[in-house]
Amino acid sequence: MTKTLRVGVAGLGFVGAATVKLLQNQAPLLRLRCTRDILVTAVSARDKSKDRGISMEGIKWHDNPLDISNDEHVDLVVEAIGGSDGVAKEVVEKAIANGKHVVTANKALIAQSGTILAEDAEQSGVALAFEAAVAGGIPILKVLREGLSANRIDGVYGILNGTCNYILTCMRETGKEFEEVLQDAQKLGYAEEDPSFDLDGIDAAHKLAILSSLAFGLKIDFGAVHVEGIRHITLLDMEFAQELGYRIKLLGITRQSARGIEQRVHPCMVPLDAPIAHIEDVFNAVVVHGDQVGTTMYEGRGAGAGPTSSAIVADIVDIALGRFLPAFGLAANDLKTSNSLDMLERVASYYVRFTVIDRPGVFAEIATALRDNNVSMEKIIQRGRAPGEPVRVVLTTHETKEKAILKTIQAIDQTDAVVEPTRMIRIEPSVFLS
């Protein structure tokens, strides 16, 4: 296997340029590891004049990224454009149709179209690789596809978005509220100018859909993922969480049970004795439960040009060695349709925070709503005591169905004692997170 592997890179933003630079700078090391050269022969981007800190010697420039997929001097296409549709998808589809391997970090594209792209790649006899799409430089997809292939996976959960983890960490450590920390994160480059994909949980949900497919042999079903973000988390909730022995984290969780597959992204109350409670700043972490290996945890930087390009090049090295498997670990025809568990039927414990007027009968109204919906209270905390003024009341529940807690909240919010919308955060049990 001595023939040079010729690589075309579509998109020269931070990730695309970092990938070219890494392939150029590490060329001697990669040659030793692959027993062949890996050479960038073509690139495409919007602005040809921009200095990206890479050598363009011997590299052909294409104004149209689709031309890379048609270039006869390219064996492998790196898609670094981004987006779930449009030109990024066209580049990948055309490359596969032309018998070229594809490597991408595009989690949105894989979460939306991964199954059909995997089918096309198998039919063309080429690789579709996307290690960089989930958790940056953490090789979690290789873990699921190869390292733990002898295990039945029971569940996977993790901190899958560094921006949200950074914001929640800073809120707790600095005592600043959400909006102020978000502005700081944007100034530091940890959050985009429009941070909606991160803050509303969509980025993490894309990654979770991919993890679910690999863990349980499922066809990608992004629509089955329950998604909530962190915009409603307040410093007050963090203070109560600490008092109750928890830390708030945005988790992506997928679990297999007799009732179906859970796929959910939302803020969680995580027990302080759970290792993932202490993953801070921009770091990601993924925990996998296997029936043979038990619990394994993987931590590292989940974003950034360095970690992402490292994962992209790792996929390129596998392909250079002729070492690639079906994209989701199983042949596309063997992937199952997800039997998703309805969130309303999920059984769990909950943190609920009310803001009510301190007057006689308020607690009786809360107790009545709990009783009527068969919700059992575990603990209650009241902050402030000034008759006629708003006070905060926090309660945690024993396990109950989600639909029961939502009905309880709805009933209490309809009383004239409640002066702010009630907040609910799900509590994840130590037995699952350990």
Rounded CA gap, 111 and 8, in Å? 23
φ, ψ at 224 (rounded to 5°)? -85, -5
Region 140-301: CATH code: 3.30.360.10
Q: So what CATH class is 5-133?
A: alpha beta
- 376-420 pLDDT per residue, tens: 999 999 876 666 678 889 999 999 999 999 999 999 999 888 888
In this predicted model, what pLDDT tens digit does every residue of 222-240 receive, in sequence order? 999 999 999 999 999 999 9
Answer for the pair 212, 254: CB distance below 8 angstroms, yes or no: yes
Please tell me the distance from the alpha carbon of residue 222 to that of residue 206, in angstroms, as a whole number.
7
Confidence (pLDDT) at 2:
60
Pick from 230-239, 248-257, 264-273, 379-388: least confident: 379-388
Task: Check pLDDT > 70 for residue 321.
Answer: yes
Phi/psi of residue 330, nearest 5 degrees: -125, 155
How far lies 296's CA from each of 287, 292, 374, in Å? 6, 11, 37
CATH level 3 topology of 343-433: Alpha-Beta Plaits (3.30.70)
Structure confidence at residue 433 (pLDDT): 58
pLDDT confidence tier of residue 171, bands split at 50, 70 and 90: very high
Q: Give pLDDT, residue 257.
A: 81
**By CB neighbour count within 10 A (0-12 exposed, 13-18 middle, 19+ buried), where does 403 fall?**
middle
Helix (H) or strand (E) holding 196: helix 196-199
Residues present in the chain in total: 434
Domain ranges for the chain: 5-133, 140-301, 343-433
CATH fold match for the domains 5-133 and 140-301: no
Whole-number Å distance between alpha carbons of 16 and 105: 10
| pTM of the full structure | 0.94
| Residues forming the active site | 207
Q: What is the Cα–Cα distance from 46 to 38, expressed in whole angstroms?
A: 24
Residue 62 CB-half CA count within 13 A: 22
* 61-73 mean pLDDT: 96
Q: pLDDT grade, residue 273 (50/70/90)?
A: very high
Q: Which H or E element spans position 163?
A: helix 162-174
